[in-house]
């Protein structure tokens, strides 16, 4: 895997990390660099994982979007995730859980304020 510094900031780049949440710590640390330095190198990084909380915290804290799909976990997991990004976690959790179970997906736009109605979209 190339270092973040190896990318030319004049060229937009998309990097996808899929099913690497069980990768060794040294690999996770290298991946984290893509999320903490990506803006300086014109990189859009995507991390695909089956379990939200298995994603390293430094990555979760440096994303602009989170997408939840079917199979993201229990209703309690959903509430815990939602609580971080909205003030309406109790009322939204069951709605989001039903939508994802019916094959819909939810996008949290973390660039928007929690009070913005477009911060959570189906």
pLDDT of the residue at 80? 83
pLDDT of the residue at 26? 93
- Give burial (CB, 10 Å; 0-12/13-18/19+) of 80: middle
Q: What is the mean pLDDT of the chain?
A: 87
Residue 39 has pLDDT above 80, yes or no: no
pLDDT of the residue at 71? 67
pLDDT of the residue at 57? 92
Residue tagged 């979007």 (tokens) = 65
Using one digit for the tens of pLDDT, what is the confidence trace for 61-108? 999 999 988 766 777 888 888 888 777 777 788 888 888 888 888 899
């Amino acid at each position: 895997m190339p270092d973040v510094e190896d990318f030319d900031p004049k060229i937009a780049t998309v990097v996808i990390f899929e099913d690497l949440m069980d990768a060794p710590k040294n690999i996770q640390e290298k991946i984290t660099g893509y999320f903490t330095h990506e803006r300086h190198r014109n990189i859009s990084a995507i991390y695909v994982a089956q379990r939200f909380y298995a994603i390293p915290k430094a990555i979760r804290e440096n994303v602009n979007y989170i997408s939840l799909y079917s199979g993201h976990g229990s209703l309690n997991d959903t509430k815990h995730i939602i609580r971080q990004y909205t003030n309406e976690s109790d009322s939204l959790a069951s709605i989001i859980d039903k939508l994802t179970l019916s094959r819909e997906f939810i996008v949290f736009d973390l660039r928007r304020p929690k009070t913005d109605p477009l911060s959570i979209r189906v």
